[in-house]
Amino acid sequence: MSYLALARKWRPRRFEDVRGQGHVVKALTHALDGDRLHPAILLTGTRGVGKTTLARIIAKGLNCQTGVSANPCGVCSACKEVNDGRFVDLLEIDAASNTGVDNIRELIDNAQYSPARGRYKVYLIDEVHMLSKGAFNALLKTLEEPPPHVKFILATTDPQKLPITVLSRCLQFNLKRLSVALIRDNLADILKHETVDFEIGALAELARAADGSMRDGLSLLDQALAFAGGAKLEALAVEDMLGTGGRRNLFAVIEALAAHDGDALLAALRRLDESAPDFHALLNDLAMLLQRLAMLQLLPNAGDEDDDPRLAPLAQTVAVEDVQLWYQIAVLGRRDLPYAPDPRLGFEMSVLRMFALKLDDGGGSAVPTGGGGRALAAAKPSISAAAPATTSRVAEATPAARIVVNEPPAASSLPRSAHILMPSATRTAPTEAFVAPVATPAATTTPGTVWHRLVDELGLDGMVRQLARHCAWLGREGETLRFALDPRARHLLTDERRLAVQTALIGKLGPLNLDISVAASPDVLHPAAADEQRLIDRQRDAEKAIEQDPVVASFRTLFGATVRAGSIQPID
């Protein structure tokens, strides 16, 4: 007898065996027990989460010889034939290979005839979104008013491609992606029944690789058993099979970054290279690992049984700000990886950025560091209330950072203060440092002007953008930016919009808090008022230019002409 794949051997036969889809199972159970099943059902969800399995259980429940029920007997001829895939009144149609209107017309013609064996004729149309427009139109009337002995079960991984006319005629159930823990536990139960020894870490690796699909998890388990050759299923062997062996070396990378130990980092990178990993997946794993570190640091009760035991002690030794910075570097590195000369080089450059940049104690800037963690530039500005007006000079530091130096007009070559700012994903040109306090009029003007430009760079839209445009820059106190909101725009201020502005600013400037108070600010114009004032000034200048134009003056003299009010418009 040929080998039966685990995905088929362990396919659920009853609703009780279906895992992770309790919300769907509950509704279908109630409908079948009362024989009130809707004539057209749409099952949606990613591959391998149970759409076809549920359809077959529904077909058994409708046609079981003991009666319509959510608990088919499983031993009658109808139940056995459905399990074996040979029940004559369950017609499974692959819409990917039967896309045309002629295929659907044939289905509709056959639907008029009574079932051959059971109570209901069940049509399971898989990947229904692949049908042509003509096929959908041909199916609409039958979906809305099918014969009493017909049930339609449509399944798709892409419900957005279905016409709204089809969606409105179906009872839709959305199947969820399955969690890593659920897939892991199911694989463990199966291996216990198969009497195969295993390490729980091996099953966790398979569950992560399954990416929410139970069927993919079972297929990978089949592959892992073949790879093990009948021996115990071990985590190291599964990592080698999946090509994820480099993940265990990521802890050494983070530990070296936290200690700022260049030799240890170089050794960790060499070990990674020896395992020949998929560097795209490895950078993704690094971002996921940093996310778990951030969760444990900021939400200590967020620990999970699937977490590596090395995570908790590591979370206590790495600075919270560093984890946030490294995570952003990893995410941006994923975006830039296709443009790197080689995936390995792209991964290593992302790690080197993490090593080169370290947040200062002020929390607002990143500082490039050399061996032993010594800062190459002053980490925190120091400008007294009596300091003279300053100008800003921008100098490129490294491909990953730039230095903004504030110095007096006649200063020496040594800067009074320096800041390194990580470039944003959307920044195309350097901007002035948004860090000056409001101790002097000059300091007030500079950040106010920068704030006007920064609003346009934040990528905000809708009411969130309007909130930012009606805020006037007041100053910075530590990590808190203070703004005054025009009282006439107080309706724009909500916690959700304030948080959206703060999040955008963090993406540009690093960790900070945002304080917005409703108050008039006569000394500093907010961007919206500044734009309005510029329009007024342009209109006044245009009208003045027309009044002083010699041609217009000659028309007045010769013909008594007058300038019609409201007809003058400034031209760029």
Q: Tens of pLDDT along 270-303? A: 888 887 778 888 898 899 899 989 998 888 887 7
Round to whole Å and give the CA distance between 555 and 260: 78
Q: Which pLDDT score is estimated for 362?
A: 44
Q: Which pLDDT score is estimated for 185?
A: 92
Q: What is the largest CA-CA distance in the chain?
A: 110
Q: Which CATH architecture has domain 245-359?
A: Up-down Bundle (1.20)
pLDDT tens-digit profile of 312-341? 888 888 888 899 999 999 999 999 888 999
CA nearest to 359, candidates 327, 386, 336:
327
Round to whole Å and give the CA distance between 282 and 286: 6
Write the CA distances from 307 to 205, 254, 311, integer angstroms.
Answer: 12, 16, 7
Q: Which CATH architecture has domain 6-174?
A: 3-Layer(aba) Sandwich (3.40)
The residue-averaged pLDDT of 29-33 equals 92
Strands 480-485 and 471-477 come out as antiparallel
CATH of domain 180-242: 1.10.8.60
CATH 3.40.50.300 positions along the chain are 6-174
Within 10 angstroms of residue 342's Cβ, the number of other Cβ atoms is: 10
Residue 139 CA to its chain's centroid (Å) = 36
**DSSP 8-state symbol, 399:** T
Q: Which pLDDT score is estimated for 430?
A: 37
Grouping H, G, I as helix, E, B as strand and the rest as coil, residue 345 is helix
Angle (CA) 61-213-165 rounded to 5° is 60
Round to whole Å and give the CA distance between 494 and 496: 5
* pTM (predicted TM-score): 0.59
CATH 1.10.8.60 positions along the chain are 180-242
CATH 1.20.272.10 positions along the chain are 245-359
Higher pLDDT, 472 or 395: 472
Of the CA atoms within 13 Å of residue 71, those in its CB half-sphere come to: 1
Q: Which two tokens stand for residue 461?
A: 């839209």
Round to whole Å and give the CA distance between 394 and 403: 6
